[in-house]
Chains A and B, each alone.
Chain A
Amino acid sequence: SQQGEEDPQALSIQEGENATMNCSYKTSINNLQWYRQNSGRGLVHLILIRSNEREKHSGRLRVTLDTSKKSSSLLITASRAADTASYFCATDPNTGNQFYFGTGTSLTVIP
C-alpha cells in the first residue's frame, strides 16, 4: 500500500494542552496536506506544506516536514474541545490531484 501512517492512532488530552501527531509516508512527494474530519463528515483542509519547505504555521497549527525521513508532524497548540476530530495527512506523489491518505489520528480534547 502507498498509504502513509499516522501516529498515534488515538490521542486524548485536556483542553489547553498541545497535541502532536505524526505522519510517515512511503514515496517522494510534491507536497503534503493535513485535513481534519469530524465524525463521518467531509474533510476540512488545514494546511499545505510544499516539499521544499521544512516548517509552516497557521494560527494554532504548526506543521513540519522532513523529506529525508519521509515524515511530517502536526502540532495543535492550546487545544480546544472543538478540535476533537480525526486528522489525516495526504501526499500527492504524482502531478495530478491523486492523494494518498494516512490512517488518521483520532484526537479527543477533554473540556
Chain B
Amino acid sequence: KAGVTQTPRYLIKTRGQQVTLSCSPISGHRSVSWYQQTPGQGLQFLFEYFSETQRNKGNFPGRFSGRQFSNSRSEMNVSTLELGDSALYLCASSRMTGVTEAFFGQGTRLTVV
C-alpha cells in the first residue's frame, strides 16, 4: 500500500511569507503528527491530530498551526516565516493512538531566505 505522502518535497520562501505543507497518511491511518528537524535542535514535535482534533501540541509559537480533514489528510501552516524556520518538516501517520508504529513521509525541505 502507498506510504505517507508529503507535498511539496522542496520549498523556498522569503521571510515574512506564509507556507502550507500537506501530508496524506497511509490509508486507514487516523493519527497524523508533525515534526521539525534542524541540525541544531534535532527532531522536535509540532502537533498531532486524530479524527480532525488536535490532541497534542509541542512548544512552538502560534505561527505554526495545523488541521486535519475528514479523510485524515493534514496540513500545517507557518505564517510570517523566519530564517530559523528553515528545516525538514516530517509528517507521521499511525493507525490509532496508543501502542502502534508510526510511519513517516519523506519530508518537506523548507528554506527561508
Contact = CB atoms under 8 A, between A and B. Distances in A.
Given A97-B33, A97-B48, A103-B42, A40 B109 contact: yes
Contacts of A30: 98-99
Interface residues of B, number: 30
Interface stretch (B12-20, B66-74, B86-94): B86-94
B99 A97 contact: no
B102 A100 contact: no
Contacts of B31: 96-97
| Interface range, A side | 20 to 34
Given A40-B109, A104-B42, A96 B104 contact: no
Given A97-B94, A100-B45, A103-B42, A45 B102 contact: yes
A98 B42 contact: no
A82 interface: no
B43 interface: yes
Interface string B49-61: 0100001101000
